[in-house]
C-alpha cells in the first residue's frame, strides 16, 4: 500500500514531508493509490499519465466522494510539479505541456496494496492527469553516444519517504525509440513484473520492493538539446550522532553552480532511510534521522541525478556516553582481576605448610 496521496495541502514532497502523508477529510484518514504510465517517443518526448484512486482505512473506494475527488483535482499544479520530479532534480526550465487536465475517468483502474489480508487490489476509476515532458530539458537525460542515452527516472515517493511508493508503473517505448538495457536501484528492489522489447512494468506491493530509480539505456532519434544539461555537485559536510540522543544529524552542501534536489540516504543494519533536500547553489541544509541500532555503523550517501556523489561512514555507540560506559566496564574488569589475584594469593597462602 502506498501511504499517502500524490498531492498535499502544503505542496510538493520535495518541499514538505507531508506530501505523501495520510490525508484527513471529515475526521477520516484516507490514502491514494498511484499508478503511472510513461511512453517514450522520438525527439525525447515522454507522455506521462498519472492515475490516482483515494480509499479509506478499511480499503473502501472514495472515488464517488465528490469532495475528496474535487480536492485532488484542485491540486493539479502540485501533482504536475511532482510528476516533473520523475525526470529532473528541479522543476526550473523543464519544458512540459498539459495534455489533459485532472478529471475522473471511470474507464481506468488503479492497482494498490491496501495493507490488508487481501493484498493488491484493483480499484475501478481513477483521477487522471496527462502531460508531455521533453527529456532534453531535464536532468534525467545523459548522452552516451550519437542517439544513445541513459535516462534515470526517480520515484519521487520512495525518495522522500520510505513509507510511500508508486504502486504500479509501466514504461513503453514507441516511435522508433529502442530499449537497449535497463536496471533499477537499490539492488534489493524487485525486478519488473512484465518485460518485453518495447515495454517494462513494475507492480510494487510495498516500499521495500519499489525501486528508488529506474535506469534505462535507450536509442532515441532526433534529440536536440535546448540547453546545457545541469550537473549537480555537492558533499556531506558533517555527519554525527547527537550526544545523548539516538539521532543521526547530517549536513549537506550544494557546492555546484545550479539549484537542484539531493537525496540523503542512510543505511544502518537492516534499516534504510532517505530524505530529499532542495538546495540553491552554495546553500547548506541539515537533516536528521532516528537511529534504530545501539552500536555499529551508519552508511551515509549523498545522491544527485541518480548517482552517489559523496559518502560517509558514522560510528554508532561510540559517543561520549558510550565511551564513559566502556571506561567503567574496563575499570570493573580490572577490579575483578585484582580481586581474583588476591583470592588466589590467599588460597596459596592457606595451602602453604605451617612452619
The pLDDT tens digits of the residues spanning 255-264 come to: 998 888 788 8
How does pLDDT run across 88-134, given as a tens digit for each residue? 877 888 999 999 999 999 999 999 887 666 678 899 999 999 999 99
Taking the CA of residue 355 as centre, how many other CA atoms within 13 Å lie in the half-sphere pointing to its CB? 2
207 touches 165 (CB < 8 A): yes
Total residues belonging to the chain: 355
> 91: Cβ–Cβ under 8 A, 6 or more apart, which residues?
81, 84, 85
Among candidate residues 262, 285, 284, the one with its CA nearest the CA of residue 274: 262
**Can you tell me the distance from the alpha carbon of 152 to that of 154, in angstroms, rounded to the nearest whole number?**
6
The pLDDT score that the predictor gives to residue 146 is: 84
The model carries a pTM of 0.62
pLDDT tens by residue, 194-242 = 999 999 999 998 887 889 899 999 999 999 875 555 678 999 999 999 8
Other CB atoms within a 10 A radius of the CB of residue 302 amount to 24
What's the rounded mean pLDDT across residues 162-190? Answer: 89
CA distances from 32 to 3, 59, 102 (A): 7, 10, 15
Q: How many CB atoms lie within 10 A of CB 285?
A: 17
Architecture of domain 234-316: Sandwich (2.60)
pLDDT of residue 329: 64
pLDDT, tens only, 250-300: 999 999 988 887 888 888 887 778 777 888 899 999 999 888 888 889 999
Distances (CA, A) of 3 to 55, 112, 121, 264, 352: 11, 10, 15, 21, 77
Amino acid at each position: 500500500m502506498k501511504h499517502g496521496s500524490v498531492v498535499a495541502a502544503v505542496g510538493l514532497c520535495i518541499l514538505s514531508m507531508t506530501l505523501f502523508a495520510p490525508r484527513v477529510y471529515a475526521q477520516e484518514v484516507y490514502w491514494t493509490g498511484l499508478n503511472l504510465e510513461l511512453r517514450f517517443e522520438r525527439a525525447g518526448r515522454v507522455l506521462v499519465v498519472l492515475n490516482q484512486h483515494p480509499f479509506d482505512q478499511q480499503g473502501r473506494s472514495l472515488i464517488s466522494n465528490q469532495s475528496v475527488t474535487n480536492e485532488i483535482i484542485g491540486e493539479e499544479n502540485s501533482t504536475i510539479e511532482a510528476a516533473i520530479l520523475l525526470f529532473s532534480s528541479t522543476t526550473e526550465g523543464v519544458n512540459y505541456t498539459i495534455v489533459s487536465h485532472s478529471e475522473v475517468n471511470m474507464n481506468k483502474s488503479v492497482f494498490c496494496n491496501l495493507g490488508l489480508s487481501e493484498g493488491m487490489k484493483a480499484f475501478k476509476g481513477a483521477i487522471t492527469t496527462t502531460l508531455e515532458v521533453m527529456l532534453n530539458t531535464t536532468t534525467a537525460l545523459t548522452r552516451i553516444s550519437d542517439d544513445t542515452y541513459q535516462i534515470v527516472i526517480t520515484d519521487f515517493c520512495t525518495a522522500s519517504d520510505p513509507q510511500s511508493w508508486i504502486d504500479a508503473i509501466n514504461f513503453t517505448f514507441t516511435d522508433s525509440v529502442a530499449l537497449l538495457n535497463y536496471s533499477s536501484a537499490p539492488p534489493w528492489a524487485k525486478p519488473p513484473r512484465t518485460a518485453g522489447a518495447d515495454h517494462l512494468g513494475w507492480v510494487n506491493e510495498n516500499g521495500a520492493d519499489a525501486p528508488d530509480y529506474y535506469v534505462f539505456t535507450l536509442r532515441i532519434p532526433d534529440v536536440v538539446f535546448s540547453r546545457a544539461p545541469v550537473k549537480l555537485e555537492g558533499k556531506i559536510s558533517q555527519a554525527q550522532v547527537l550526544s545523548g540522543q539516538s539521532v543521526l544529524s547530517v549536513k549537506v552542501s550544494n557546492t555546484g553552480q545550479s539549484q537542484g534536489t539531493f537525496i540523503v540516504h542512510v543505511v544502518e543494519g537492516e534499516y534504510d532511510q532517505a530524505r530529499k533536500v532542495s538546495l540553491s547553489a552554495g546553500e547548506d541544509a541539515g537533516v536528521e534521522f532516528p537511529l534504530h541500532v545501539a552500536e555499529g555503523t551508519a552508511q551515509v550517501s549523498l545522491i544527485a541525478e541518480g548517482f552517489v556523489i559523496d559518502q560517509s561512514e558514522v560510528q554508532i555507540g561510540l559517543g561520549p556516553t558510550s565511551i564513559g560506559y566502556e571506561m567503567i566496564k574496563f575499570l570493573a574488569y580490572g577490579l575483578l582481576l585484582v580481586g581474583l589475584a588476591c583470592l588466589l594469593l590467599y588460597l596459596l597462602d592457606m595451602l602453604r605448610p605451617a612452619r
